[in-house]
Amino acid sequence: MTAGNEFEGKRALVTGASRGIGRAVAIGLAGRGARVAVHYHQDRVAAEETLSRLAGEGHASLSADLADPAAARAMVEKGAEHLGGLDILVNNAGVYEHHPIDRLGFDEWLDAWNRTIGVNLLGAVHTTYAAVRHLIAAGGGKIVNVTSRGAFRGEPNAPAYGASKAGLNSFSQSLAVALAPHRIFVTAVAPGWVETDMAAPFLSGPEGEAIRNQSPLRRVARPEEIAETVLFLASSRSDFLTGAVVDANGASYLRT
């Protein structure tokens, strides 16, 4: 087996794969032999574009609002049915919105927290619950959660985002222990800024230069660079990393 076909025979579900990091992950997995269920929320055209870029055959696209627990579970079941089971889950879908505590009314504040925790944390949690049944049936597997540097560095203008990602890091660590007896390996990758739609308004705005300069490399990550880390964590080459939260932030934030 070479890295070129290391996911041959593997069945992978990637959430939020219509765009950005998730799309790069889906392309990478399919390029190395996996069949991929491309999850998206509303952007069907973008999801179809991802599908059209996947090497090999037998892929599918699936829509669900991950803030809806029943929809998340149903989406996993549909994906597993299409693929004939599941070996790899990448919880990547996420939302980011500004909700500064000193400038919002309580209703807006509440909405922002509910949306952010609902998608970024609970969406991943319930997707995982459903997927774990299939990973156990497959005799083991991989779960990779896409979190954020913000879990450690803080998100002053989006505290629910930082909290959602810190929660997802903790969830990853708990499950690494709980699922080890099933040979299910659980990790997280915590990117800094990445060139995607989520970051575009900030990168093209007045603070863009300062954001790029947070890294001594004087740039932000490309989605493919984060995907490469996800692929490594999803592969059998990284089993002993289970429980790890891997920083992928270009030395823009060094935690001890």
Ligand X SMILES: NC(=O)c1ccc[n+]([C@@H]2O[C@H](COP(=O)([O-])OP(=O)(O)OC[C@H]3O[C@@H](n4cnc5c(N)ncnc54)[C@H](OP(=O)(O)O)[C@@H]3O)[C@@H](O)[C@H]2O)c1
> What is the binding site for ligand X (CB under 6 A)?
16, 18-22, 40-43, 46, 65-67, 92-96, 119, 123, 146, 148, 191, 193-194, 196-199
CB of 121 to ligand X, least distance (A): 10
| Residue 205 exposure: Cα atoms within 13 Å on the Cβ side | 7
Distance CA 159, CA 151 (A): 9
Shorter beta-carbon distance to ligand X: residue 138 or 227: 227
CB of 67 to ligand X, least distance (A): 5
CB of 151 to ligand X, least distance (A): 9
Shorter beta-carbon distance to ligand X: residue 91 or 138: 91
CB of 94 to ligand X, least distance (A): 2
CB of 131 to ligand X, least distance (A): 15
> Which residues carry out catalysis?
161
Shorter beta-carbon distance to ligand X: residue 124 or 138: 124
Shorter beta-carbon distance to ligand X: residue 94 or 141: 94
- Please name which of 41, 53, 140 lies closest in space to residue 88, comparing C-alpha atoms: 140
Backbone angles phi, psi at 226, to 5 degrees: -70, -40
Shorter beta-carbon distance to ligand X: residue 213 or 236: 213
1 within 8 A of 8, measured Cβ to Cβ = yes
Distance CA 165, CA 203 (A): 21
124-137 and 69-83 are packed helices; what angle lies between their axes, rounded to 10 degrees? 30
